[in-house]
A = this chain, B = another copy of it.
Amino acid sequence: MTYSIKDVSERTGLSIYTLRYYDKQGLLPFVARNSAGYREFTDGDLLLLHTICCLKNTGMKISDIRRYIDFVMEGPSSVAHRRALLESHRAAVQKQLVLVRNNLKEIDAKLAIYSAPDAAAKVSQELQAAVGEKTRLGLANTFEKASAA
């Protein structure tokens, strides 16, 4: 049993255009063609494509995914290279996760202010502080409209 590009598109959520684009970028050298030149995906191909999606979803660039796939196509001898590549990607993703979590905490702090019963008062206070600072420094009041409201 093999899958047409349309089947694969439906299973993965990637558009047919994207699949062809990935192939063009060298991400799918393992996909065989039939006599008419049509791509025929096997279950094994879907597994590899799934790995590609994991790498893409965690923010790896196409060109780096391509390097990984090139290693896979080289066979077992490239295991050390594959490992190094994934290890370094893993570190980058971890770092990014920490950043996002910290930034999300700050957004939550903002949300706490906006959700409090005295939100308008707190926001007004912040605004007045900012306006005061501009005035004190002899700058134009860029919050004109806001302080009028």
Contacts and interface: CB of A to CB of B under 8 A. Distances in A.
Interface of A: 1-2, 29-34, 40, 42-45, 48, 50-51, 53-55, 57-59, 72-77, 79-80, 82-83, 86-87, 89-90, 93-94, 96-97, 99-101, 103-104, 106-108, 110-111, 114-115, 119-120, 123-124, 127, 129-130, 133-134, 137, 139-140, 142-143, 145-149
A100 B97 contact: yes
Contacts of A77: 120, 149
A127 B75 contact: yes
Q: How many copies does the complex hold?
A: 2
A48 B94 CA distance: 27
A72 B146 contact: yes
B145 A83 contact: no
A2 B77 CA distance: 58
B143 A30 contact: yes
